[in-house]
Amino acid sequence: MRHHHFIAAGIAASAALLLAGAASAHAHLVKSTPAANATVAAPKAISLTFNEKLTPAFSKFELVMPTMSNMAVAVKATVSKDGLTITGTPQAPLMPGVYKINWHAASSDGHKMDGVVDFTVK
């Protein structure tokens, strides 16, 4: 009878590990520069760092000015060699105003995530 309890406990622990692994299989934003809702001087670069490696072909961001009818701002973005950070360089100095970073990231297992980071240039 005791043997059955150990088997049941082992099965339950395995299932919990599998579920935890599946739940953490999404790329989550852990840091942004500029930080969310920050007011900053015009940044020369924008970076988004994630908790797991990204697939470069499906990971990017767009920069828009929501108060200017979501006018797109030209940014050249690349994924770092370690696959954890998307860095973008504005192609012209950012003028004062509110900006929105619309990001799209895919982890190496194919899960896609989207998010937004707002900041203001003073």
Q: Which of 71, 53, 54, 49 is nearest to 62 (CA)?
A: 71
Domain containing residue 68: CATH number: 2.60.40.1220
The two tokens of residue 120 are 């203001």
Q: Around Cβ 117, how many Cβ atoms within 10 Å?
A: 21
The answer to whether position 38 is within a domain reads yes
Number of domains in the chain: 1
CA atoms of 100 and 21, how far apart (whole Å): 31
Question: Which of the residue ranges 9-13, 59-63, 101-105, 107-111 would you say has the lowest mean pLDDT?
Answer: 9-13
Question: What is the reported pLDDT for 25?
Answer: 61
- DSSP for residue 66: G
Residue 31 domain-assigned (yes or no)? yes
Question: Residue 75 domain-assigned?
Answer: yes
**92 lies in a domain?**
yes
Mean pLDDT throughout 77-86? 97
Domain that holds residue 85: 27-121
Quick check: 116 pLDDT over 50? yes
Q: Is the pLDDT of residue 33 over 50?
A: yes
Banded model confidence at residue 20, pLDDT cuts 50, 70, 90: very low
Neighbours of 26 (CB within 10 A): 16
With the C-alpha atoms ordered 55, 43, 115, 28, is the resulting torsion angle positive or negative?
A: positive
On average, the pLDDT of the chain sits at 86
Residue 115 lies in a domain: yes
> Residue 71 is encoded by which pair of tokens?
């006018």
Compare 29 and 27 and report the one with higher pLDDT: 29
What phi and psi values does residue 29 have, to the nearest 5 degrees? -70, 125
Q: What is the pTM of this model?
A: 0.79
Helix (H) or strand (E) holding 39: strand 38-40
Is 3 contained in some domain?
A: no
For the ranges 3-17, 31-45, 106-120, the lowest mean pLDDT is seen at 3-17
Of the pLDDT bands very low, low, confident and very high (cuts 50, 70, 90), residue 14 is very low
For residue 9, pLDDT beyond 60: no
